């Protein structure tokens, strides 16, 4: 059983931080190394301007890009983020957002990822990330 199958079956629980963001796994393609998820931005995520605070959006992006890579790793491996760059395209509001994360390049240890958050059919934010594969490969 691989990591994706463990998450899908419930044998590997969704982390509490992802639950806070209203994370719901939609799909994963091992061929594309792409993951889709849904989040729910709550009223408690609002900043003083009345829009979703950017840190929550970054966390959502991290939670679609990271698993797109981690689902392709061996059990015992993990991939901490070395760098995360986010572009905020338009404000997000309370409600559902869809996220897509994909692996752009997977090297022996260094990987490059990208992702988008979409709300009501419009891109809210985009991100790129660099990660480092650690742990034992089987």
What letter would DSSP give residue 28?
A: E
Range of the domain at 57: 3-135
Whether residue 136 is predicted with pLDDT greater than 90 in this model: the reply is: no
The string of pLDDT tens digits covering residues 117-134 is 999 999 999 999 999 999
Q: How many domains are there within the chain? A: 1
> What residues form DSSP beta bridges with 36?
27, 100
The whole-number pLDDT of residue 15 equals 85
Q: Bigger pLDDT: 21 or 2?
A: 21
**CATH value at residue 23:** 3.10.129.10
Q: What is the pTM of this model?
A: 0.91
The string of pLDDT tens digits covering residues 36-62 is 999 999 999 999 999 999 999 999 999
Q: Which two tokens stand for residue 105?
A: 């390049």
Strand positions, DSSP E, the chain: 24-29, 34-41, 77-78, 81-88, 95-106, 110-119, 122-132, 134-135
d(CA 32, CA 98): 18
């Amino acid at each position: 059983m691989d990591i994706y199958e463990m998450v899908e079956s419930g044998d590997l629980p969704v982390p509490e931080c992802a639950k806070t963001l209203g994370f719901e796994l939609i799909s994963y393609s091992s061929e594309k190394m792409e993951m889709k998820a849904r989040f729910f931005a709550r009223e408690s995520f609002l900043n003083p301007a009345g829009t979703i605070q950017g840190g929550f959006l970054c966390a959502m992006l991290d939670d679609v890009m990271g698993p797109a890579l981690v689902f392709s790793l061996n059990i015992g491996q993990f991939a901490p983020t070395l760098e995360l760059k986010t572009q905020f395209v338009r404000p997000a509001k309370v409600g559902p957002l869809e996220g897509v994360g994909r692996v752009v390049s997977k090297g022996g240890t260094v990987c490059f990822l990208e992702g988008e958050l979409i709300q009501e059919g419009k891109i809210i934010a985009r991100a790129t990330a660099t990660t480092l594969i650690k742990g034992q490969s089987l």
